[in-house]
Each structure stands twice: as C-alpha cells, then as structure tokens.
A and B are shown apart, each in its own frame.
Chain A
Amino acid sequence: MKALKNIFGNFKRYSFLMNQLIMRDFKVKYKRSVLGVLWSILNPILMMTVMAIVFSQMFKFKVDGVNYLVYLMTGLIMFNYFSEASNLAMTSVVSNFSLINKIYIPKYIFPVAKCIFVGINFVLTLIPWFAIILLSYIGLGQYACPITFSYIFLPFIFFCFFLFTIGIGLFLSCISVFLRDMFYIYGIILTIWNYVTPVFYSLEILPTSYQAIFKLNPMYQFITSVRSIVLFGERPSFLTLGILFLISLCVFGIGAFTFKKKQDQFIYYV
C-alpha cells in the first residue's frame, strides 16, 4: 500500500515534467510547419488514401462483406501508433543520457512521455477515422458500418492497447541501453511484425493451419477487436476483452519490472 502511495506521489510530483516533455515534442514536431497540428489529422488521411488506392485498385485486395476502407484504416492507425510509440520510447532513454547523467529524474518518465505523446497524436487520428466510418454509415462504399452501443468498449480496448505499448516501450528502452544493436534489430522486427499482422489483408487468405499461429499475435487481437466493433457493430466477447486486458497487464508488468530492476545500472552504460 505504501509502495503504491509512493508511486503515485512520485507520479504527481513529476507530472509537470512529463507535461513539459510531451509539449516539447509537440512544439518541436510542428515547428515552422504552416499547418502545424493539422498534420496529425491530414497525415493519416493522405497515407490511407495512398494505401487504399494501392491495395484496393492495384492489388485488388478486398475483404468480403466489410468496408475495406475502414478495415484498412483501423489496422493502419493502430499499427502506426504501436510502431511509432514503441520506437520512440526505445530511443528515449539513450537519447536523454546527458540529463540522466546529471540530474536525478525518474527514468521511466522518458519512455512513458513518448507513449503519451504519440497517444495524443493517435487520438487526433481517430477524428478522420471516425469521419470515414460516418461516411460509410451514410452510404459511401458498398458496405455500411453500423454504429452501435458496442462503441463504449472502444476506450477500454484502446486503454489496454496503450498499456501494452508502454510495456513494450519500457522493455525495449531498457534493453537498448545495454545493447545498442536493439535499435536496428527492432526496426527489422517491426517490419516483420507489420506483415504478420493483418493490416491490409485478411487472415482468411491464409491456410487454416497458419491462421491459428497468426492469432497468437497480440496486435492481431487488438486490431480485430476494434474491427469487430466498427465493421460489424459486434461487441468482442468478454473472454476476448479479458484476455486483452490480461495480455496488456502482463506485458506492462514485464516491461515495468525489467526497467525497475535494471534502471540503476543505466548510468554505467552512458
């Protein structure tokens, strides 16, 4: 109980710093760009347009019975969040070594701040995402997306997804201190992970024997749960939601534990 109180006290004390670090990232990101934060919304729209044209027109990809545009965009924004946040979180500790070496700051602040920063961006991308869903609802494209009460489960899924990403980010940022090769290794892992996750294709095009293995991928589970809500208006089963929560809690726990265990040694690897 006391440890918990300590953690929250610590969190409160450094929340202003967290705030400043996140604001810094925003300011630096959009410094001197004319459209500024608008890019957070424009970028996914443009990206998605390109992807949609490439996959649906050139490669003739489609997923039977659903609105492919929404299908694609859901996968895209979620995977993009994950890859950007985990990548930035991974480099955050090493790139702030000059600070860590001089002043006492709880080190978890850096990866967590990055995950929140990208998270805010993610929330902004939900605006064009929802706009597309609305358009399909009123009749754009072949299949309409129902908007139902199951939407109330979206925040819960996103919360788990966020927790999962922080866990991975903490773990990677810790490992990369001792093993700088991780920066490059993870780049490759992410590419593989991207193709293994059905972002622009459907698992049904694969042989059944493979499908079971692919379903073990947590990213698949996250994306599929969100898709089942927005594409079919179906609430994922409570079992699925429970599993998602457990997975994210475990990953977060492992990440936080590793980080806590190893953080005092960071200073020797500056």
Chain B
Amino acid sequence: MIQAKNVSMKFDLGVEATSFKETFIHLFSGKKKKEKKDFWALTDVSFHVDKGEVVGLIGSNGAGKSTLLKVVSGVMKPTKGSVTVNGVISPMIELGAGFDPELTARENIYLNGAILGYSKDFIDEKFDEIVEFSELRDFLDAPVKNFSSGMTAKLAFSIATVVNPEILIVDEILSVGDIKFQEKSKNKMMEMIMGGTTVLYVSHSMESIEELCDKVIWLEHGHVKMIGETKEICNAYYLEQMGETKEESLQRKKEASLEKENKRKMKKEQK
C-alpha cells in the first residue's frame, strides 16, 4: 500500500533570511551564490506498509516523524527517493484547519469535508452522523467564530473521522472536548485504527503503540534506526531514551509510591 524508497528530505534553514535582492537573483538565474545551511530532516528512509497493517512511528522530538507523514500524504515532495501510495489517504494530522470562522457549522461541514476530499454525496449521506457525533445539533446554524474551542474541536473531529479510509495517517490519538467526548473520540480513533485499514501511526505513548501496531519504525535524526517487530523495538527505544528497561522503571515507580505511602503513614502517626 505504501512504499517508501530511499526518501530524503532537505530543508534550507537560511530560507527565511533571504533578502529582496537574493530572492530576485535566485528567481531568475537559479544559481545559489551563498552557502546555504542545509538540514536533512530525513535521510535514506525506506520502508513499506502492507494492506491492513498498522505501522507505528516512534522517535524523539525532531526525529522526522511528522516530516515523514507529510511526505507520505503528499504535502511535501521528497528531495530524493520516492513514495508510492496505492489508495486514498485520509490525513488526520490537523483538525479544523479548513474552517472559516464566518460560516455556520453546517456550511463548515461541507467546506471542511471538501477540503478533506469527500464528495458532496458522501457528506449529504453522512451529515446526520457527523452532527450526531459532534453533539452540536442545536448550534448548526451559528457561525463557528462564536463556538468555544472545545466545540470547534468536536466538530472538526467529527468531520475528520466520519470516513472509512483506505489509508489512515494519525499523528497521536486525539482526544478533544470534555471528559465524555474525550473518551468517545478516543474510542472512535481506536475503532478506526483497529478497523482493518492500513494505518501509519505516530505516537509518544508506548502503551498505545504496543497495543495497536503490528510493526514499528524507529526514527532518529532522520534515519531509520530500527524497524521490525513491535515489542522488540519498543523495548529497545525505551531503554535508550530512559536509560532503563520498562520493567526496571515500573519497579522503581512502585518502590517510590510505596515509600510515599510509608511517609504519609509516619506523618499521621506523629500527629
């Protein structure tokens, strides 16, 4: 379903600083006079995701996870290498990016749906489902600018998750809104990931990675450090990041909490 071959992605860190003259020259001559600061966000990343597979992406901040997701979803073209994707991608990267605050919730469902690549028929059909899930039926004809941030997030979430995607790209399990909705949205996302579609999933939560993924890719400084079976990679990653294995850390935490408990008891007795 997804096939990445030797993907490299270069960013030019000096791009913000270019002056009028430089840009002008650059635009017409195509020559680069000044030495530029290059930053390789991804170097030589290769992997493949089979149909129905849930693949986790782990790595510390700035390791290139989000860049990789953007390359796969087609937002960025890789500097080198290639990505082939068979199927329609539903990116669940950012919610509500396409909302127009002046428009009503009803109008925004159509606008945002169109941006996410839904057809008109599809939105017509799923309209009630979206409204029902968002719990915002009473506010359908109010402009979104009057919504609270929680309400906006609920609406955006409901629109983004109404699809049965061929390929799902998830940057962290999102739980938005109040407690009740957080639970509901989390379940909905779990359901989507577990529903048998192909998933590329980025998360910092080792628990959910271990629970959901068939395979894990560990990125570090833009390189693939390890790729393979979930349990093995997660353990290795945890060890390197925290300097101890998971069992050790669990043990330590247990001891710490026991100690706390003892101290509390001592205090009570002193009183």
Q: Which A residues contact B (CB, under 8 angstroms)?
A: 13, 16-17, 19-21, 24, 27-28, 31, 98-105, 175, 178-179, 181, 264, 267-269
Q: How far is the CB of B70 from chain A (nearest CB, A)?
A: 8
Question: A103 touching B76 by the CB < 8 A rule?
Answer: no
The answer for the CA separation of A20 and B89 in the assembled complex, in Å, is 21
Could you name 8 residue pairs across A and B whose Cβ atoms are closer than 8 Å? A13-B117, A17-B114, A20-B110, A21-B114, A28-B103, A103-B75, A104-B75, A178-B23
Known: A179-B24, A181-B20, A264-B77. 10 other contacts (CB 8 A): A16-B119, A16-B120, A20-B110, A20-B114, A24-B111, A27-B102, A27-B107, A100-B75, A104-B91, A179-B23
Set A17, A24, A28, A268: member contacting B12, Cβ < 8 A: A268
Instruction: Produce 1/0 per residue, B34-56, CB < 8 A to A.
Output: 00000000000000000000000
Question: A101 touching B75 by the CB < 8 A rule?
Answer: yes
What interface size band does chain B fall in? 20 to 34
The answer for the CA separation of A24 and B93 in the assembled complex, in Å, is 23
Q: How far is the CB of B140 from chain A (nearest CB, A)?
A: 15
Among B12, B75, B118, the one with the most A-chain Cβ atoms within 10 Å of its Cβ is B75
User: Closest B-chain residue to A268, C-beta based?
Assistant: B15
Q: Which B residues contact A (CB, under 8 angstroms)?
A: 11-12, 15, 20, 23-24, 26-27, 73-77, 89, 91, 93-94, 97-98, 100, 102-103, 107, 110-111, 114-120
Q: Take A102-B75, A103-B115 as given contacts and tell me if A31 and B102 are in contact as well, using a CB distance cutoff of 8 Å.
A: yes
Which A residues are in CB contact (< 8 Å) with B89? 104
Q: Take A24-B111, A27-B103, A28-B103 as given contacts and tell me if A103 and B120 are in contact as well, using a CB distance cutoff of 8 Å.
A: no
A to B contact number (C-beta, < 8 Å): 68
Among A20, A101, A179, A269, the one with the most B-chain Cβ atoms within 10 Å of its Cβ is A20
Which A residues are in CB contact (< 8 Å) with B75? 100-104, 267
Which A residues are in CB contact (< 8 Å) with B115? 17, 20, 99, 103, 105
Set B15, B73, B77, B119: member contacting A269, Cβ < 8 A: B15
Which A residues are in CB contact (< 8 Å) with B118? 16
Question: A102 touching B97 by the CB < 8 A rule?
Answer: yes
The answer for the CA separation of A19 and B114 in the assembled complex, in Å, is 9
Among B11, B102, B116, B118, the one with the most A-chain Cβ atoms within 10 Å of its Cβ is B102
Q: How far is the CB of A15 from chain B (nearest CB, A)?
A: 10
Q: How far is the CB of A204 from chain B (nearest CB, A)?
A: 38
Set B11, B20, B73: member contacting A104, Cβ < 8 A: B73
User: Closest A-chain residue to B16, C-beta based?
Assistant: A269
Question: B27 touching A24 by the CB < 8 A rule?
Answer: no
